[in-house]
Amino acid sequence: MDKDEKRKLIVESSRDLFARFGLRKTTMDDIAAKCRMGKATLYYYFKNKEDIFRAVIDEEGRLFKERMEEALSKETTPRDKLRAFVLTRVVYIKELTNYYSTMRDEYLQHYAFIERERLKFNDWEIQTVQSILDEGIQQGVFSKFDSRLTATAIVFALKGLEYPWTVDQDVIDIERAVDLTLPVLFNGIEKRD
């Protein structure tokens, strides 16, 4: 197994442990046992468990963005892209346990890299929604409004719905909730004749 494969194995194995036990309760011994490696090998690739956690968060963030870009590329209209954004975000955040808990758990805020990741992720989401809104405005589908402010409001509204939508509901219920919620948003921003 080469260096890249070992590093990837450590990250993938740790991802599962962090998802189950959290950063606090997961130890380097746990990670070494899960990877079937010695702790010394872990320290060759990572300084500490926080460094491994950072790699896990980076990987989950990359996977999330990849999944989102794939979902958006399948849609042609701004309405459908916004729906795909909301659905993909809610469904995939449910799968990304570590990333989701990192974005909302208060005790993790003292880690500077997590705060930077939160800010980067927020900016990326807002820019993504803003580009969809700008496309809709340019096509005349949406009336003219401050797309940055609206994108920010949409992203933070979704953050408020994360917990009930990702913890309390299954995917079918989430899709139904999104389909009932989006017309309220669209009727407020769609261009009327």
| Per-residue model confidence (pLDDT) at position 109 | 55
Q: How many CB atoms lie within 10 A of CB 71?
A: 18
Residues 131-174 pLDDT 10s: 999 999 999 999 889 999 999 999 988 887 776 666 666 666 77
| Per-residue model confidence (pLDDT) at position 102 | 54
Topology of 50-189 in CATH? Tetracycline Repressor; domain 2 (1.10.357)
Residues 62-114 pLDDT 10s: 988 999 999 999 999 999 999 999 989 888 877 775 555 655 554 555 567 77
Among 90-94, 142-146, 175-179, 180-184, the range with the most confident prediction by mean pLDDT is 142-146
Question: What is the spatial distance between Cα 182 and Cα 79, in angstroms, rounded to a whole number?
Answer: 9
Nearest to residue 72, comparing CAs of 26, 135, 120, 119? 135
At the top level of CATH, the class of 1-46 is: mainly alpha
The full set of domain ranges for the chain reads 1-46, 50-189
Strand partners, 142: 190
| Per-residue model confidence (pLDDT) at position 118 | 79
